[in-house]
Amino acid sequence: MGRLRRGRPHYPSGVTVDLEARRAELLVLRDRIERAAHDVVEGDESAGELSSAAGDQHLADHAAELVDREVDSSLEENAEQIAHEIEVALGRIDEGTYGTCARCGKDIPEERIEAVPYAILCVDCKRLEERG
């Protein structure tokens, strides 16, 4: 089982990836997610101010507002989870274990890392985790 080294690790396919470039990509992604989560929270707060000022809302409007708040809350939770996963991935870069499944220890395929750069589990282990 190959551990990834600083610099240019080797994936099973033999393709190399620059960890500093991957770190920069993860930092940019983390910043985008944090900004998006902040925008959701700001929008939610201003919507709350508007609805309390309205006073005489129609029941359907109130229901739509509740749905919007629930969606915003879910988006915020998802953003927080992804930001946490990015932090874990950044830590794994520092430890030299980025690209290795945290559960089974096998190399995470390059295609998965490209699709989900903050992935710390291979597809099989992620499926097991999601099933509970």
CB 16 within 8 A of CB 9: yes
- Express each pLDDT in 8-39 by its tens digit: 444 444 445 689 999 999 999 999 998 988 88
Percentage above 90 pLDDT, the chain: 52
Sign (positive or negative) of CA dihedral 111, 115, 118, 120: negative
The pLDDT score that the predictor gives to residue 5 is 43
Nearest 5°: the CA angle 1, 8, 80 is 80
CB 81 within 8 A of CB 116: no
The pLDDT score that the predictor gives to residue 132 is 81
- Express each pLDDT in 35-51 by its tens digit: 988 887 776 555 555 55
The pLDDT score that the predictor gives to residue 51 is 53
CB 33 within 8 A of CB 128: no
pLDDT > 90? residue 2? no
Q: What is the value of pTM for the model shown?
A: 0.70
pLDDT > 70? residue 1? no
